[in-house]
A and B are shown apart, each in its own frame.
Chain A
Amino acid sequence: MSTATEQHTGHDDHAHEESHGASDKQYVIIALILAALTAIEVSTYYIDFGPLFMPTLFVLMIVKFVIVVSYFMHLKFDNKLFSYLFYSGLILAVAVYCGALATFKFFLQKG
């Protein structure tokens, strides 16, 4: 019984590592990276980045987004179907914005 339980626990730990892939220490390191990226974002408010202002903010936003989704939400280690479901919604959302923006541009030019 004891052996069976130990084997079972070992299996759980292995499955846990496989499915989640990061330890608590790694999560803290990831959070520190996110905090540093946020600090760079906020610095754009105080420091003139010139023509790099918008690209810097967009890149930082996307990097932070992907880090949280991949590591904190475990999408990097989970089944691909979850990724397809989530990113489908995200791509559709971006398409909605592009469509709406194009529509506004069209009507503003016509008007």
Chain B
Amino acid sequence: MADTVVAHGADHGAHHTTTGLSNNKLGMWVFLGSECLLFGGLISTYMLYRGRANAGPQPDQIYDIPFTSVSSFVLLMSSLTMVLAVSAANRKDDRNTNLWLTVTAVLGATFVGGQVYEFTAFYREGLGFTTSLFGSSFYTLTGFHGVHVTVGIIMLMALVGMVRRNRIPGSKAETVELVGLYWHFVDIIWIVIFTLVYLIPS
């Protein structure tokens, strides 16, 4: 019986707060709200400067829509694998949690690899960071997003190691969910970037 009480406390201890909500989760949502402002500023800057390519290639001359579409699809599917990891963590199924977290990290790494390839191709076609206002705002926006994905991959791999060694303090399911929230946020930002940056011509 004592075991039951301890296990129950570990599951729901996080909710014994003045708001009745998990402080960790509340903190993550505040962080994601502030991240909206960061990416809002970067997307605004790009939208205002995209037509100002006085030198170097224009946006519609260098974008490879089929390639970026595949990258977008890969990132979108990583959201599915992430939510399956959260679902497995809620069922206390460590094996599937680790499996889906690893698949998510691999899909994320595929996306980042695609972005590195894209940047390299654009640079070879004459679009450097300082070539034009378009180039500067494009690399800053998509580069910031790429860094966020990379940080997400590091978090996922760290989580895989922690789940495997059973070293997560507090609720394991909540920790996986928090990393999941960050990962889905990175995905929704790309949904906006893909439409506004790639699909809508300048």
| A→B interface (CB under 8 Å) | 1, 4-5, 8, 12, 16, 20, 23-24, 27-28, 30-31, 34-35, 38, 41-42, 44-45, 54, 57-58, 60-61, 64-65, 68-69, 71-74, 79, 81-82, 85-86, 88-90, 92-94, 96-97, 100-101, 104
CA of A41 to CA of B69 in the docked complex: distance in angstroms? Answer: 9
Would you call B48 and A38 a contact (CB within 8 A)? no
- Given A65-B191, A72-B184, A88-B33: A93 touches B39 (CB 8 Å cut-off): yes
Would you call A35 and B40 a contact (CB within 8 A)? no
CA of A42 to CA of B69 in the docked complex: distance in angstroms? Answer: 7
Closest Cβ neighbor of B189 among chain A residues? A65
B192 at the interface (CB under 8 A from A): yes
Would you call A38 and B72 a contact (CB within 8 A)? yes
Further 18 A-B residue pairs, CB within 8 A, beyond A27-B87, A65-B192: A1-B4, A5-B3, A31-B77, A31-B80, A38-B73, A41-B194, A41-B199, A42-B65, A42-B69, A64-B191, A65-B188, A72-B83, A72-B184, A74-B177, A82-B21, A89-B37, A93-B43, A100-B44
**Interface residues of B: mostly helix, strand, loop or mixed?**
helix
Would you call B77 and A35 a contact (CB within 8 A)? yes
Q: Contact check: which of B48, B188, B195 meets A60 at CB < 8 Å?
A: B195
CA of A86 to CA of B39 in the docked complex: distance in angstroms? Answer: 13
Would you call B4 and A4 a contact (CB within 8 A)? yes
Total A-B residue pairs with C-beta atoms closer than 8 Å? Answer: 137
| B→A interface (CB under 8 Å) | 1, 3-4, 7-8, 11, 19, 21, 25-26, 29-30, 32-37, 39-41, 43-45, 47-48, 65-66, 69, 72-73, 76-77, 79-80, 82-84, 86-87, 90-91, 177, 180-181, 184-185, 187-188, 191-192, 194-196, 199-200
Would you call A73 and B80 a contact (CB within 8 A)? no
Which residues of A sit under 8 angstroms from B44, Cβ to Cβ?
A: 96-97, 100-101
Can you list 23 A-B contacts with CB-CB less than 8 angstroms, sorted by A residue number?
A8-B4, A20-B87, A27-B84, A31-B77, A34-B79, A35-B73, A41-B194, A42-B65, A54-B200, A60-B195, A61-B196, A68-B188, A69-B188, A72-B187, A73-B184, A79-B21, A85-B29, A85-B33, A89-B33, A92-B37, A93-B37, A96-B37, A96-B44
Q: Contact check: which of B4, B36, B47, B83 meets A92 at CB < 8 Å?
A: B36
